[in-house]
Structure 1
């Protein structure tokens, strides 16, 4: 930025602040206007660093000789119409800046360690997806209403705001604890998956040393230097390979810590986080969540929760070691049913029969199970209902949990290492005992939690105005568990395929699987719930494809609004051109196809709900089939059961291919597969799962707010001028960041002149997606918009349907976007087009009635500057002539600068 210059005349009063969306438009494209284009070398960073920052065009870059500083009436920076808008405000120049934040969720920025962590994050995109979806579930739950009170600081004697609950309802009924408990279950699910591969498939099944006459058999797919482990005892190998799930959890925790991005500006950057000293604090009875002052700050609760997950994972490994070591010592093969467990196995657990090491394993298992249970209790007990509220009262249980985890792992490990051969020479099981049923047990617990989340209720909301009728937490959690199970199936299936050498059946021996001789039954046995879900996954995919195809056919047939004549007529009207259009029939076909694609894409909410239902049924079916495997396999439906089980290999292969393909896509610079889903789950602070992907909002929101505050304060290289104005130009998800920044400023800098801030959005999902999925964050009561319903799968899906008001808003906040920006026309203008697959109308409506109704100008669907006819969709709004008109309308709605 350079040093401040004491010359107020150098502060241009108008700042057009552009922010990109999901596509991560680079700064040189974001700074273009109309036909004027820029190259990457034409822009320079004025604020920020390599992660995120504000860019300006260099002087003389592109078509304009003045860069992005625009004199009144000129068009070099934002077009002729925008220049006229500047002239209406005191003939003052304008600066155009582009805020680029796209690398926040994919780069760590800590030197060489950051580059290594960045590669790890890209490689582990989809290992983190279930955790990120859990975070989205946390913020989609019914958030408690809060209020702001004035509290006098005993030291400074100044009034400071404090957030408290706006009602007297008991805490813990909003689902925060249940979602955090579900997140803990996901971590244990990950640990069990890693344990199945390392401790079961490799340490036990690939070294059948305890099987008579097979003492030297080793899976030939393993490196030769591991052959010596065949001479170890089963317990010693299990303890050695138990390091893999422990290291895996440690790696997840390290990636989560290194990948976090924070905003800690220097004092002279204008951080926008302090209330002016001595100013009065307004008491607000109904406060939007976005106005919580420290909402975007990294808090201790998530670090505390992270340690809970780490210790619970360690305790789970100790429990796995102890359980297997105990039952292999007393002939665990005979414990195949509840009857034999009580009549035969339980009798062998007498201290005199299991020995000292057996007693140590029993105690280790009890301590480990207790540590996991305490971690679950602490997760629920310490779940804050609101980010600004302290955690629940009561002493911490962390010491007991960590101590129990360490003791259980050490005790179980030592007992397994020194236990020797099973008592009485009884051969051990050919599988790791307990790991076959552990995934099913965790799946059952998480499915029950999902059912309880579906019962969460919001008061004062019409269900039609809520995403998935208010069951967002259950939907996101179902997608999370489904993604985690698919990942587990892919990991376990890929490991089994490699170890069985299914892809290369000729190696050191005739059948290829075993080194030093063949062995009957050369098939590894992963947990049945994984293979069953993999088989059912094909059915889920086929059922979803059939349902989507039928609904699409019905929807397309009902799109009577989407005709070539109407499309061409609207294009000519938007372009201010006279008919006929060259190649009018071909242009009409292109427009109709693009509009149809956009309309079908607008049914994303309905498609996701269908997908969630199918995934839930698939998980439940796999759980039932795997739990009662003996009955299904011998009953009248044995043939169907075997068919599903045999299809598991195909399902695992399909899941693995999908993961590999998406991982390759995510490894490209500045790319994000499934970008909308990723941005939905990474926007809000990471509060549910500590190992989830980083929240770009933790930096982007306060940084964008700080830039606005610095401009209005006049600290951009000069003393305060009290004449600054800001016109925000936000595309797609950038609109969500911009609106959040405005509320953040309203809570932290209430002294700013908000009447000198205007908002232009385009291609946005504010009202139709974010407002429905997260109603307490960005719903109608926050945006001051009319409620809207979702587009059904078989509906016509015209823009008129997407603008239709659904129900009456019953929930109101004392502060909404209309209060922040100020009432009046064109304070918020939204551009949209029918070919935009991610953009919707907003239909801005303030509480005052018609005088507060904003506009949704229509942006033409043809790029006016390409040589051939090109239909534009979600991007390229800056080239549309309606953009210049819209930004001029926003600028003209702002008051003239003070003199």
Structure 2
């Protein structure tokens, strides 16, 4: 008996809804990703064409417990990972350059994350607030209790403060190992020489490379903490920090030498990890160098040893010294790191531009999303969010500690005696820039609504009149509703230019702000001290810090609601499930890739069903992408018993435009060949009102469904059929007809 195996989309619908049966039972898999069939006692276990019904429910891999909403706070890591996959088509050399730059950029985001915790714990709390005489600890016994007795000297305070970023790194390490075991541990059956294509089994096997990446990121994260700590201590000690202090068996010169040695070794770890990350032997999925595993373990072990030694060095007794101002070197480090990240993104933009030109000359790129510059644009979005989150956290901690005297030196009639902590200057620009970015985003959205969408209305009216002749004269309001649905669907194809312009405007502003920060100028310094302009800039900067925190809180709440309410999940699930579809090839600490489990599991089940009467893989929305990836993984003996039905499919409309190196005409041709060759057993259903799905390939594969099913109310009803848009394809009579036709093809002796 043939089987129709349905795979749901981003809405994570329950199996009962996917199968349209009230009682179902799991026949394979587990609660997070399982295969379900109608229970036999319902006597309704078959679907169109008499095939057995089965559903693959994978939604819990990206949702489930509301606590997973915390993943959204690591959104910059996830965006950094997506940059690798957004590249235009290129040869092996071009791929290697883009991958290397993307991985270097992703590593820098880990440093940004660590420096944020370092700034809050070591700079604001341990160095500035805990300094005796500041008054910052007044009325805070918990803080005064930490930095008392043995931990009064600045060096020891910094050692105590360093435990916070080290603890956060340990949590990320444990979290990364947990997701590694649950997602990337599904081993492939074989391998190809090149694991870059979707058809390669190693494409979905990330356990080993993700493990290597994670070890390198953890090593760099720990070394970053060590570098900040040692910079302050060695700088002080070389100026006589051990003068007149009894160091036991150590002399002052020996102690200074130890500090310098630790600093040199820390820099060796940082530079070495960055260089090793760029080598092909380290990051290859198919043929890693023999030394790769040993090298990353050595780097991580060395970083752990250096962290322990650096903390011990910080605990050494020193001559009395007073911590004043901000943590030495920290603010400049944050600013220069941001400048370096901009240079990496600029290099990516240049490389991608060259690759776009070459791909266009050879006809390998057509109508790419964001003009093909998705890699630097999405990377810059990840950087912007990362720096904004850093600024938001830093200023909220500073505001709490200095009782709202932050974020800038503008005097708002506050008491002069109030302690004023000093967050890095670049974070002022980040806060103001985030506010400007929100304004630009609102303006871009307004442009799309007021200019782009009205331009599409004429074409939408023509499409409605084509599908429903005479309907507009009978019910103009009904026709206008259908027009609106078509306009909304087509708008997704026309917003790339607007996003590109907005990105260009923000990029110019970011470059200018970075230059001013490097020159030691903050937003408030752009206007005369005490002037109305300075007050306005102060107010805008402050508003930016609060807006960042509100945004972070909104992301968490949105994630919680997305897991609890299907309607909210439909809104956020599209971008979220697209981003987490791709393996973690750049950043190992981002959201895990659910396809690492779903695709091999779906391919295994489909191959088993293909040998037991045949299988129609039926995928909606993101499920269509999983189905396509699974078909490319099928063994040769299972392909003759496999057919494919996709509907609401983003294969070409989204994936083909955003990820042209992995979804293109060659891949679609390989899919058609896998399910029948010259007469493929593949049909793709789409609607004009669908904002996500669209046609995939020529040659009779695409079947357009008219939406709604009818213009007027059917006989016996006073309500006209609803506009379905992206959903409810299974309710269309054409759906059952296409499943039946594919089943007939599978049952033919010649297939």
TM-score (ref. length: structure 1): 0.72
2:433 is the alignment partner of 1:536: yes
In structure 2, the partner of 1:101 is: 58
The SS at the match of 2:704 is coil
Going from structure 1 to structure 2, the CA distance change for 1:488 and 1:285 (only over 3 Å counts) comes to: closer
In structure 2, the partner of 1:813 is: none
Shift of 1:141: 3.2
In structure 2, the partner of 1:681 is: 579
Aligned ranges 1:374-385 → 2 under 5 Å: 374-382=272-280
2:650 is the alignment partner of 1:765: yes
Residue 436 (structure 1) aligned to one of 305, 309, 331: 331
Shift of 1:272: 8.6
In structure 2, the partner of 1:658 is: 551
In structure 2, the partner of 1:854 is: 701
Moved more, 560-569 or 181-190: 560-569
In structure 2, the partner of 1:290 is: 198
2:205 is the alignment partner of 1:314: no
Contact conserved, 1:105 with 1:693, CA < 8 A, in 2? Answer: no
Contact conserved, 1:138 with 1:687, CA < 8 A, in 2? Answer: yes
Give the Cα–Cα distance (whole angstroms) in 1 for the partners of residues 619 and 501 of structure 2. 31
In structure 2, the partner of 1:223 is: 142
The SS at the match of 1:883 is helix
Contact conserved, 1:249 with 1:310, CA < 8 A, in 2? Answer: yes
Going from structure 1 to structure 2, the CA distance change for 1:126 and 1:226 (only over 3 Å counts) comes to: farther
In structure 2, the partner of 1:273 is: 189
In structure 2, the partner of 1:55 is: 36
The SS at the match of 1:559 is helix
2:699 is the alignment partner of 1:839: no
2:69 is the alignment partner of 1:122: yes
Shift of 1:463: 4.5
Shift of 1:196: 0.6
Contact conserved, 1:829 with 1:857, CA < 8 A, in 2? Answer: no
Aligned ranges 1:129-278 → 2 under 5 Å: 129-141=75-87, 173-209=96-132, 214=133, 217-218=136-137, 220=139, 223=142, 226=145, 229=148, 232-260=152-180, 261-262=182-183, 273=189
Shift of 1:395: 9.1
Give the Cα–Cα distance (whole angstroms) in 1 for the partners of residues 704 and 689 of structure 2. 14
Give the Cα–Cα distance (whole angstroms) in 2 for the partners of residues 245 and 295 of structure 1. 34
The SS at the match of 2:649 is coil
2:651 is the alignment partner of 1:743: no
Contact conserved, 1:330 with 1:354, CA < 8 A, in 2? Answer: no
Two-structure CA RMSD over aligned residues (Å) = 3.6
In structure 1, the partner of 2:5 is: 17
Contact conserved, 1:136 with 1:680, CA < 8 A, in 2? Answer: no
Going from structure 1 to structure 2, the CA distance change for 1:709 and 1:568 (only over 3 Å counts) comes to: same
Going from structure 1 to structure 2, the CA distance change for 1:648 and 1:380 (only over 3 Å counts) comes to: same
Contact conserved, 1:56 with 1:68, CA < 8 A, in 2? Answer: yes
Contact conserved, 1:51 with 1:101, CA < 8 A, in 2? Answer: yes
In structure 1, the partner of 2:409 is: none
Shift of 1:100: 0.6
Residue 710 (structure 1) aligned to one of 608, 614, 630: 608
Going from structure 1 to structure 2, the CA distance change for 1:495 and 1:696 (only over 3 Å counts) comes to: same
Aligned ranges 1:486-565 → 2 under 5 Å: 486-502=388-404, 520-561=417-458
Going from structure 1 to structure 2, the CA distance change for 1:320 and 1:560 (only over 3 Å counts) comes to: closer
The SS at the match of 1:561 is helix
Going from structure 1 to structure 2, the CA distance change for 1:581 and 1:143 (only over 3 Å counts) comes to: closer
Give the Cα–Cα distance (whole angstroms) in 1 for the partners of residues 205 and 291 of structure 2. 22
Give the Cα–Cα distance (whole angstroms) in 2 for the partners of residues 50 and 725 of structure 1. 26
The SS at the match of 1:764 is coil
The SS at the match of 1:437 is helix
Contact conserved, 2:398 with 2:423, CA < 8 A, in 1? Answer: yes
Moved more, 549-558 or 687-696: 549-558
Give the Cα–Cα distance (whole angstroms) in 1 for the partners of residues 447 and 535 of structure 2. 30
TM-score (ref. length: structure 2): 0.86
Going from structure 1 to structure 2, the CA distance change for 1:192 and 1:764 (only over 3 Å counts) comes to: same
The SS at the match of 2:379 is helix
Going from structure 1 to structure 2, the CA distance change for 1:222 and 1:60 (only over 3 Å counts) comes to: farther
Choose 1 or 2 for highest CA Rg: 1
Residue 878 (structure 1) aligned to one of 720, 730, 735: 730
Give the Cα–Cα distance (whole angstroms) in 2 for the partners of residues 313 and 431 of structure 1. 22
Contact conserved, 2:185 with 2:205, CA < 8 A, in 1? Answer: no
- What per-residue deviation string (whole Å, max 9, x for no partner) do you get for residues 616-674 of structure 1? 44443332221112498767888778754542211111111111112012124367573
In structure 1, the partner of 2:243 is: none
2:718 is the alignment partner of 1:821: no
Give the Cα–Cα distance (whole angstroms) in 2 for the partners of residues 882 and 470 of structure 1. 36
Contact conserved, 1:730 with 1:761, CA < 8 A, in 2? Answer: yes
Contact conserved, 1:290 with 1:740, CA < 8 A, in 2? Answer: yes
Give the Cα–Cα distance (whole angstroms) in 1 for the partners of residues 54 and 419 of structure 2. 64
Shift of 1:565: 7.9
Give the Cα–Cα distance (whole angstroms) in 2 for the partners of residues 222 and 664 of structure 1. 32
- What per-residue deviation string (whole Å, max 9, x for no partner) do you get for residues 404-426 of structure 1? 4245433432332224344xx5x
Higher normalized helix content (fraction of residues): 2
In structure 1, the partner of 2:266 is: 368
In structure 2, the partner of 1:775 is: 660
Going from structure 1 to structure 2, the CA distance change for 1:445 and 1:228 (only over 3 Å counts) comes to: closer
Contact conserved, 2:155 with 2:314, CA < 8 A, in 1? Answer: yes
- What per-residue deviation string (whole Å, max 9, x for no partner) do you get for residues 235-292 of structure 1? 1111111111111111112112212434878xxxxx99369xxxxxxxx999971121
Residue 481 (structure 1) aligned to one of 383, 386, 391: 383
The SS at the match of 1:760 is strand
In structure 1, the partner of 2:44 is: 67
Structure 2 unaligned regions, length at least 5: 241-249, 407-411
The SS at the match of 2:684 is strand
Shift of 1:57: 1.7
The SS at the match of 2:27 is strand
Shift of 1:582: 12
In structure 2, the partner of 1:648 is: 541
Structure 1 unaligned regions, length at least 5: 1-11, 33-37, 70-76, 84-92, 108-117, 146-168, 266-270, 276-283, 333-351, 505-510, 574-578, 715-723, 785-815, 846-851
Give the Cα–Cα distance (whole angstroms) in 1 for the partners of residues 537 and 294 of structure 2. 47
The SS at the match of 1:440 is helix
Contact conserved, 1:500 with 1:524, CA < 8 A, in 2? Answer: yes
Give the Cα–Cα distance (whole angstroms) in 2 for the partners of residues 769 and 521 of structure 1. 54
Contact conserved, 1:272 with 1:709, CA < 8 A, in 2? Answer: no
Contact conserved, 2:402 with 2:418, CA < 8 A, in 1? Answer: no
Contact conserved, 2:689 with 2:726, CA < 8 A, in 1? Answer: yes
Residue 617 (structure 2) aligned to one of 728, 731, 739: 728
Give the Cα–Cα distance (whole angstroms) in 1 for the partners of residues 374 and 234 of structure 2. 43
Give the Cα–Cα distance (whole angstroms) in 2 for the partners of residues 272 and 390 of structure 1. 16
- What per-residue deviation string (whole Å, max 9, x for no partner) do you get for residues 425-461 of structure 1? 5x33232112212222221222111112121325534
Contact conserved, 1:288 with 1:776, CA < 8 A, in 2? Answer: no
Going from structure 1 to structure 2, the CA distance change for 1:502 and 1:492 (only over 3 Å counts) comes to: same
Moved more, 181-190 or 633-642: 633-642
The SS at the match of 2:447 is helix
Aligned residues: 715
Give the Cα–Cα distance (whole angstroms) in 2 for the partners of residues 354 and 618 of structure 1. 49
Contact conserved, 2:620 with 2:647, CA < 8 A, in 1? Answer: yes
- What per-residue deviation string (whole Å, max 9, x for no partner) do you get for residues 733-782 of structure 1? 1111001001111xxx2222x23322221111110221122223211221
Give the Cα–Cα distance (whole angstroms) in 1 for the partners of residues 138 and 383 of structure 2. 32
Shift of 1:820: 0.8
The SS at the match of 1:18 is strand
